[in-house]
Chains A and B, each alone.
Chain A
Amino acid sequence: MNEFVERQMKLTWRPPKKSYDVVIVGAGGHGLATAYYLATRHGMSNVAVFERGYIGGGNSGRNTTIIRANYGIPAAVRFYQRSVDLYRGLEEETDRWLMHQAKGLLWMAHSEAAVRAERMRAKLNTQFGAETEFVGPAQVQELCPQLDMSGGGRWPVLGASYHPQGATARHDRVVWALAEGAMEHGAHVHQNMPVDGLIIDGDRVAGVRTASGDIAAGAVVSAVGGHVSRIAAMAGLRLPIRTHRLQAFVTNHYLQQFGPIVASSELFFYASQTARGEMLLGAEIDPQPSFSYRSSHDFVQDVCRRALCLLPFMSNLRVLRQWTGVCDMSPDYSPIMGHTGVPGFYITTGWGTWGFKAIPAGGEQMAELIATGEVPELIAPFGLDRFARDRTMADRGSAGTH
């Protein structure tokens, strides 16, 4: 955040106290949303968020800002639809322009198998509250005139599932609005203050160790992205998480309007237009586990090759910026939220490549869990204990990145 932006915001940086009711590790979208909903919905303002860098500087600032709920299993559709609904009301609620814009999302099918899958997705989504319909090639072309319907001759568009509520929002504005809202209600946010360790009292987590001393806490929440295995290890936990890089890039300004968000799980890429007019492209995670923020040339090369099959106009554009985030991948491609089995220690992780869209619902549900002590119904299927109970939530096909 630069000085200009900071002047516009009502952010109040306070020195850390010796103890808080709740300490949240990680001031990204999920950590700040948890603080925000604790303060606004449950009257809990004795809350601090500790951040090793700056707010929203991790994956919250490295994603492709897509908001959608067209997932593949009932529990996920319900959860992400809650998030889509909360996002829609977030501008009014925070009184900040988040550049939230519903654009509609087209998920292309290039084969009979994919047509079947998209038809099924449309049915399942609609059934569980996320409006989606299957549309034929004529309607696809109408919704997105720039598409080459022959897919370069190799990937013909045979139809698509259309999710009208698919949207984008400005990622840093979302993070800032949540930080501002939480601070206005009395929550503390501490930047440049890494958590070096957890205070363990008997069998429970009782606080965090930082450069400015030990901070006692009634509950500690890990909302860390990218380094969650390290935080969990401080509490003696091993996690079903592997961290992989995910890259994305934008082109220079495309002079026409590109309406919807376009995704193809057979070509493994997705594209949308940013508010500045750039074309934003993302694709799959890198194959090897890594914590490196380095971007690679072969990624751009590979994604362009695939994207040009469907969007040939992009051959006139140039790559402007490229970046990398590190994604905590769970084995079933679903998030992990809730209790950890260690008293006083909660976790929200496994946000892989689907974290941004889940920020409001993830925060709201985690806040409810912490405030009431009861696991909300919406996130009950996503507990860490699901692996031991043999109740994994396999949803790989919905990630769009695999």
Chain B
Amino acid sequence: MSLRIPCPTCGDRSVHEFVHGEIRRVPDHLTDPDERDLDFAFHHDNEEGVVTERWFHAQGCRRWFEIRRDTTTDRIVEPDSS
């Protein structure tokens, strides 16, 4: 079964209709402005586990929304069960 993304407008749709968006955060311990820029431009958390991410329904309602997904299993985690 392929990954289906729950769009708040359109319901569950195939992942291929969406664009994945990462929510970028620069860690607080980086204080040097150059370091912060480098981190923002290139580095990723690349977390294993439940992550909050943004998706854009490019081939649908064209709405950005947030979901929580477990990157180790690719399952969508409902907000209330986390």
Contacts and interface: CB of A to CB of B under 8 A. Distances in A.
B44 A387 contact: no
Contacts of A241: 44, 46
Interface string B28-46: 0000001000110111111
Interface of A: 227, 229-230, 238-243, 286-292, 294, 296-299, 302, 331, 387-388
B66 interface: no
A239 B71 contact: no
A60 B39 CA distance: 30
A229 B42 CA distance: 13
7 contacts: A238-B27, A238-B45, A241-B46, A242-B44, A286-B3, A287-B16, A290-B71
B12 interface: no
Contacts of A299: 2
A287 B20 contact: yes
Contact of B74 (A229, A292, A297, A388): A292
Nearest to A294: B74
A150 to B, nearest CB: 27
Given A287-B16, A296-B1, A297-B1, A238 B43 contact: yes
B42 A230 contact: no
Contacts of A240: 42-44
B14 interface: yes
B44 A229 contact: yes
Contact of A292 (B15, B44, B45, B73): B73
Contacts of B20: 287-289
B63 to A, nearest CB: 18
Given A238-B27, A296-B1, A297-B1, A288 B42 contact: no
A258 B46 CA distance: 39
B72 A242 contact: no
Given A230-B48, A238-B45, A241-B46, 13 more contacts: A238-B44, A239-B43, A239-B44, A240-B42, A288-B3, A288-B15, A289-B20, A289-B44, A289-B46, A289-B71, A291-B71, A294-B74, A298-B2
Interface of B is mostly: loop
Contact of A229 (B19, B38, B41, B46): B46
Contacts of A289: 20, 22, 44, 46, 71
B29 to A, nearest CB: 9
B23 to A, nearest CB: 12
A335 B24 CA distance: 23
Contacts of A294: 73-74
A239 B46 contact: yes
A286 to B, nearest CB: 8
B69 interface: yes
Nearest to B4: A298
B74 A331 contact: no
A292 B47 CA distance: 12
Nearest to B73: A292
Interface in B49-77: 69, 71-74
Contacts of B44: 229, 238-242, 289
Contacts of B22: 242, 289
- Which of A230, A296, A299 has the most CB atoms of chain B within a 10 A radius of its CB? A296
- Which of B3, B14, B27 has the most CB atoms of chain A within a 10 A radius of its CB? B3
Contacts of A331: 42
Contact of B69 (A229, A288, A388): A288
Contacts of A287: 15-16, 18-20
B72 A292 contact: yes
A323 B44 CA distance: 26
A172 to B, nearest CB: 25
Contacts of B72: 291-292
A238 B46 CA distance: 9
Nearest to B75: A292
Nearest to A226: B48
A287 B18 CA distance: 9
B48 A291 contact: yes
